[in-house]
Amino acid sequence: MEKQLTKTSKYLSFILRHKPDAIDLALDENGWALIDELIEKTTEVALNINILKLVVETNDKQRFAMDINQGKIRANQGHSIEVDLSLEPVTPPPVLLHGTAKRSYESIIKQGLTKQKRHHVHLSESKMIATSVGRRYGKPILQKIDTKRMHEEGFQFFRSANNVWLVDAVPAKFISEK
């Protein structure tokens, strides 16, 4: 069962964050898809409303949000396609962490953190989460971001519904090795 939920979560991430076109699914400007349409157009995994609910509820990182009344679902963050999540800027904690692969370190301390294919640079309050994020790309290292100073200097921070901190970029001067 757990394997099936992980496979479905990965499938949903792919469709709702990156490639709704792969199944000709319409997303509105805020990234919401109609649950009925998603189920109808999905062939790659076995999908019904109960499985969807289970994936949304049990997802380790709370990657998805469902609006049952309106019959809609969306990814909470991590998109590469253009969507407006309507997040309001919020004051970040004084320090946040970014986990990355060791081999990216040299480039990051020169260029700063840039958002690559996603909408934002992703930061975390949790050492454990940041480490596992970094591990996806190799031997992980943690970087400490002086978010207090960034905020004072006018950078806008957002927090996704699943507590990922998002910012447009992190210039090198705010980064130190943890």
One of 16, 85, 141, 164 touching ligand HQG (CB under 6 A): 164
Name the burial class of residue 25, with classes exposed (0-12), middle (13-18) and buried (19+) by CB atoms within 10 angstroms of its CB: middle
One of 72, 122, 151, 159 touching ligand HQG (CB under 6 A): 122
- Sheet order of strands, 175-177 included: 95-101, 140-146, 175-177
Distance CA 166, CA 87 (A): 10
One of 52, 96, 113, 145 touching ligand HQG (CB under 6 A): 113
Is the distance from CB of 92 to CB of 147 less than 8 angstroms? yes
One of 18, 118, 144, 178 touching ligand HQG (CB under 6 A): 118
* Binders of ligand HQG in range 18-77 (CB under 6 A): 61, 63
Q: For residue 99, list its beta bridge partners.
A: 142
111: contact with ligand HQG by CB under 6 A = yes
Structure tokens that stand for 4 in this block: 């099936």
Is the distance from CB of 158 to CB of 88 less than 8 angstroms? yes
3-state secondary structure of 21: helix
Q: Which residue lies nearest ligand HQG, judged by its C-beta? A: 100
Q: How far is CA 33 from the centre of its chain?
A: 17
One of 107, 126, 153, 173 touching ligand HQG (CB under 6 A): 107
- Closest separation in Å from C-beta 175 to ligand HQG: 10
Structure tokens that stand for 96 in this block: 């946040």
137: contact with ligand HQG by CB under 6 A = yes
Structure tokens that stand for 157 in this block: 């921070």
7: contact with ligand HQG by CB under 6 A = no
8: contact with ligand HQG by CB under 6 A = no
141: contact with ligand HQG by CB under 6 A = no
Q: Which is nearer to ligand HQG, 151 or 159 (CB)?
A: 159
Task: Give residues in contact with ligand HQG (CB under 6 A).
Answer: 13, 61, 63, 78, 100-101, 104, 107-108, 111, 113-114, 116-118, 122, 133, 137, 164
